[in-house]
A and B are shown apart, each in its own frame.
Chain A
Amino acid sequence: MTTQTLPAPPVTTPTPATRRPRRLLTGLLVVAMLVVPLVTTPQWQAIWVFSAIAAIAAIGLHVLTGLAGQVSLGHAAFVAVGGYTAIWLGEDRGLPLWVWLPAAGIASAAVGLLVVPFAARLRGLYLSVVTLAVLFVTDYIWNTWEGLTGGTNGRSAQTVQLFGHDLFDDVAFGPFLLSADQQYFYLACAVLGVGALAAYNLARSRPGRAFGAIRDRDLTASVVGVPVARMKSAAFAVSAGYAGVAGALLVGYQTYAVPDQWSLMLSVQYLAMIVIGGMGSLGGAIAGAFFVTAIPQLVALLAGVLPGISTTPTTGGGITTDLLANFLYGLAVVVVLVVEPRGLAGLPARIGSVLRRKEAKA
């Protein structure tokens, strides 16, 4: 066994010299993220909210796939479990956010553990098909369990209240009048921040290193004493937990939930986020979530410039913004995989190396 065949570890340990600009960059991006929703149009504000929520789910998939190397096509199912837990506790039982948000994560993590008897034994392709089975079985449950989900027509979701204030009411905050979208965005960002910090630290903890060992070669991992089955279960539970929290926030923002939205396409979107962002990179997963969610809006902008793109969805065919957006995100996945496997996370390094080359010439 030569070391050449092993994939290079995607998380490079930063040296003190590279750490400072990277921290600066992260700080600037966080500030930009918090300020931008204050100055953009309402259409974009909705995109920011959806992006922040999607980023939470994408972090979950990043832990499972990027860190522990396990394939899942069923992430949408866990998002759905979280969403319906929140609806049940928040809407039907009238419990506050402090209860339904963590409960959604815990319930989803518990369902994630159901996959474990299979996940611990299976690898690669078989695992991906099992997670797909989870998706189809839960899809059947959502369509059949009308008492919870309202059947095919869906149902309304819980209202989101913080300290007795409904987030969908405008609120004056200093000189700003915060709209519903802006308030919701900051709530989602707060959750995203906690989740990202936890995932960042998880990657550097003992379980995180164990995940990496399993990703690179589970046989080797078990030889050096990593409890492979237990660690795989943990990765599934953590990933499903993130998905559940994202699902609770998602249905709350949508104000409704329909069974059809938890489709394979949604799972593929989450996968696309971490692939486009760059596999194994936490920042990449978040950037990928924003990128994939923003594509429809970017295409809508493009429709104003390019002729031949219709902005109204039709059933009769033609190049509509929705379809073009879908096509482009499929294309983005393929292009990233073929051309730049490090994804968006690889861009700073690539730009940096181009700049250094120019400096060397000058």
Chain B
Amino acid sequence: MDTFIQLTFQGVSLGCIYALIGLGFVIVFKSSGVFNFAHPVFVMASAYIVAALSPFGFFWGILTAAVCMVAVAIGCELFVLRRLAGRSLYLVIMATLGLSVMGQSAIAMIWGVEAQGSTEGPMGRGVLEIGGVSLPWASLSIIAVSLVLLAALWFFFQRTRMGLALRATADHHEAAMAQGISMRRVQLVSWGIAGLLAVVAGVFLGAFPRRVSPSMVDTALGVLPALVIGGFASLVGAVVGGVSVGLMLVLGAGYLTSFGGGGLYVVLPYVAMLVVLAVRPSGLFGRADVERV
């Protein structure tokens, strides 16, 4: 029972990271119709920046990463993806994959391919013991900060003018424009938010397995099944999908060690995703039409 509680806790904290990454994908997708395969690279780049600058102060690192990532995200939107508006989904995906390849090789040129230090900062490596269960402080902070961030995002989307504009845009581009909403501003804001979310997710992802390495891109891409399970166009779906994928990965890793060579947990989210696709193709929280026309 202790193991189960422990694993569930770890799963939820990994799930929170996936939820943050997933929100970065969904917010951009809803506002500009771009499915940004470069987002995992944003996540990894912020982790590298924070890890490199943490000797000078953890929060300076986060500040620098935040400025850089917002600039990079907005730059990608302005100089590449805005020019591809109205082109087929496939070409847009290809452009973000090209950006992803560029970002990955740029990072490897700057920092090499070996693992760097962790980004735990003040979260530390301490452990909180409750009964027989040991809960790392890092995981506790991940869950706490994620909850605060989700609440802030909810407030932004439901209670502010800009949030309303973003929701209107997501519902119907033309109708939103007819109401005088500036599409350019909405898209810049949503890419900026995605950049910020990438920084938080990057810091957490670098603190959770305690190292920053090129394989973070693959870890972050693991959010895709979460998005399908939740539905690409749903913010709630991204959070629910993210947490369930986190749980599947950690519980699977804990309990399925004796089946299929011990690596079976890696494919669990994809199997769950295929089941969801077969039963309810628009995802648990999605609407039927998410096609970009």
Interface residues of A (CB under 8 A from B): 7, 65, 69, 71, 117-118, 121-126, 128-130, 132-133, 136-137, 140, 143-144, 264-265, 268, 271-272, 275, 279, 314-320, 323-324, 326-327, 329-334, 337-338, 341
- Residues on A with C-beta less than 8 A from B232 are 125-126
Query: Whole-angstrom distance from the CB of B36 to the nearest CB of chain A?
Result: 12
Q: Is the CB of B109 within 8 A of A338?
A: no
Q: Does B102 reach chain A (CB closer than 8 Å)? A: yes
Q: Is the CB of A140 within 8 A of B267?
A: yes
Main secondary structure of the interface of B (DSSP, over half): helix
How far apart sit A320 and B112, CA to CA, in the bound complex (Å)? Answer: 10
Which chain A residue shows the least CB distance to B35?
A: A125
Besides A71-B93, A126-B290, 14 other A-B contacts (C-beta < 8 A): A69-B88, A126-B228, A137-B267, A137-B270, A140-B267, A143-B263, A144-B263, A271-B94, A314-B112, A324-B109, A326-B105, A337-B84, A338-B80, A338-B95
Q: Mark B98-109, 1 if CB is under 8 A from A, else 0.
A: 111111111011
**Docked complex: B195-219 residues within 8 A CB-CB of A:** 218
How far apart sit A341 and B90, CA to CA, in the bound complex (Å)? Answer: 13
How far apart sit A338 and B87, CA to CA, in the bound complex (Å)? Answer: 10
How far apart sit A335 and B273, CA to CA, in the bound complex (Å)? Answer: 34
- Residues on A with C-beta less than 8 A from B102 are 327, 330-331, 334
How many residues belonging to B are interface residues under a CB distance threshold of 8 Å?
52
Q: A125-B89, A133-B273 are contacts. A330–B94 as well, Cβ < 8 Å?
A: no
How far apart sit A327 and B99, CA to CA, in the bound complex (Å)? Answer: 9
How far apart sit A69 and B291, CA to CA, in the bound complex (Å)? Answer: 14
A-B contact pairs, 17 of them (CB 8 A): A121-B277, A124-B89, A124-B291, A140-B267, A143-B263, A144-B263, A268-B101, A271-B94, A315-B113, A318-B109, A323-B109, A324-B105, A329-B101, A333-B97, A334-B98, A337-B84, A337-B94
Interface residues of B (CB under 8 A from A): 35, 80, 83-84, 87-91, 93-95, 97-106, 108-114, 218, 221, 224-225, 227-228, 232, 260-261, 263-264, 266-267, 270-271, 273-274, 277-278, 281, 290-292
Q: Is the CB of A316 within 8 A of B80?
A: no
How far apart sit A19 and B35, CA to CA, in the bound complex (Å)? Answer: 40
- Residues on A with C-beta less than 8 A from B98 are 272, 330-334, 337
Query: Whole-angstrom distance from the CB of A319 to the nearest CB of chain B?
Result: 5
How far apart sit A27 and B108, CA to CA, in the bound complex (Å)? Answer: 42
Instruction: Please indicate which of the listed interface residues B90, B95, B224, B228 has the most CB atoms of chain A within 10 Å of its own CB.
Output: B90
Query: Whole-angstrom distance from the CB of A267 to the nearest CB of chain B?
Result: 9
